[in-house]
Each structure stands twice: as structure tokens, then as C-alpha cells.
Amino acid sequence: MLELTMASVSGTDAGATAGMQMADAPSEPGAMLRVGRDRNVCRLATPDDWLFVSRVHLEFLCGPEGAWQVTWLRGSHDDPSSEVRFTLVGAAAPQTLPYGGTAKLPLGGSGELIIQDRTGPRSVNVGFYHEV
């Protein structure tokens, strides 16, 4: 099972968890969870006017062995208006997830992905827990 929590945070709300959303999916091959602005395909949706987040920004996909990965999907622009940082609990420092890049989630691990607006103090914080 993969469990996700998401909070949209603006500069004045840093540290607040109001408006938190949650989603989960079983660790079965082909299971998918998406984060973005398009409520038709994303289980976790950001505010419509937060254009630094793509229609479908992050895609969590379960592979054949029950292991999950996350991909920052490429959008319609060559240069994104956000950056994505990836942190594992217990890791030394956050890593940057490259635009169009994929990272494997550790079995039984947890952490956070932060989609940071490059033009202002807004972020989307997505926490994950991969239950074994």
C-alpha cells in the first residue's frame, strides 16, 4: 500500500496543514496515483490557479514487484516554472528530482516531495509512506 498526503502551502501558511488531502492505493502492478491540477485524472489536486503545477505533475506507479516509483512528468514547456525536491526520512539532504526524471520509493520507506514555485513562496508538499 502506498499512502500519500498533500498540502498546498503559501508563504503566510508555512507549517500549516489546513486543506490536507489524502489518497492511497494497493501495491499491485499497474496501480497509479497522480498529483496535479486536473481533478479528472489526479487523486490529489492542487488549486486551479497554481499554474506552476502541471495538469498532471507527479505520477506514482507500482511496478511488477510491488515496488513504487515517482515520475515528474514533462509538461508542455521546456523549462518548468517549478522545481521538485525529494527527501527520504533519515536521509542526509533533499535531492532534486529532475524534470522528466523518476525516483524509486524504498519498500517500507517514507519521505516527502516538495513542488516549489520558482516565482513565489508557494509549494505543494506531498508526503508518502510505502507500507510493506
Closest CA to 74 of 65, 66, 82, 64: 82
Percentage of residues in the chain with pLDDT exceeding 70? 94
Q: How far apart are CA 121 and CA 21, in angstroms?
A: 20
C-alpha cell belonging to residue 49 = 490557479
CB atoms within 10 A of CB 121: 12
Q: pTM for the whole thing?
A: 0.91
Confidence of residue 14 (pLDDT cuts 50, 70, 90): low
| Residue 128 bridge partners (DSSP) | 4, 111
pLDDT for position 28 = 95
Give pLDDT, residue 20: 84
Per residue in 32-89, pLDDT (tens digit) is 999 999 999 999 999 889 999 999 999 999 999 899 999 999 988 889 999 999 998 8
